[in-house]
């Protein structure tokens, strides 16, 4: 699975002009299931994200995790993280999981994050969404379970 994490002071997602997810301090997690991913990948990624020390402590160092700060996660599906731009100028997305499998893994991932004690809000899988955020730092980190 691939994820793009953005440390935020606030973030929200709208569908058809209605806010369906909103958080204050925490992480906006853009997530993409790849064709070879399984629930094991989702569990691994959820665990890593929950423990990643990217929030500042009292000394101003990135030394606290999402769990440590009691932050929330806004999880938004983003199949374009699977973009292959190696040929031509139009990205290909054939390495992304199928829509059926992608939805299952997206929902599983959101549940796995919530099971770790993190408040989770979500977007709507497959919808045209408008995502707003105030990037804190800015801090933006890419993770890929296959790159480890």
Active-site positions read: 78-80
- The count of C-alpha atoms lying within 13 angstroms of the C-alpha of 120, restricted to the half-sphere facing its C-beta, is 22
Contact 122, 129 (CB under 8 A): no
Q: Is 27:73 a contact under the CB 8 Å cutoff?
A: yes
DSSP bridge pairs for 129: 15
Please report the DSSP string for 6-68 in residue order. EEEEEEEEEETTEEEEEESSEEEEEEE-BTT--HHHHHHHHHHHHH---EE-TTSSEEE-HHH
Spatial distance between the Cα atoms of 2 and 111, rounded to a whole number of angstroms: 17
Residue 118 CA, distance from chain mean position: 13
């Amino acid at each position: 699975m691939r994820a793009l994490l953005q440390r935020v002071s606030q973030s929200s997602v709208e569908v058809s002009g209605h806010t369906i997810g909103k958080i204050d301090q925490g992480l906006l997690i853009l997530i993409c299931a790849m064709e070879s991913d399984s629930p094991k990948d989702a569990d691994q990624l959820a665990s890593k994200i929950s423990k990643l020390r990217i929030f500042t402590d009292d000394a101003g160092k990135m030394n606290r995790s999402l769990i440590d700060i009691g932050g929330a996660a806004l999880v938004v599906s983003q199949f374009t993280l699977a973009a292959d731009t190696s040929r031509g100028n139009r990205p290909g997305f054939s390495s992304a999981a199928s829509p059926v499998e992608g939805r299952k893994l997206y929902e599983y991932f959101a549940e796995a994050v919530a099971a770790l004690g993190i408040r989770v809000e979500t977007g709507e899988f497959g919808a045209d969404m408008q995502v707003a955020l105030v990037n804190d730092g800015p801090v933006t980190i890419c993770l890929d379970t296959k790159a480890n």
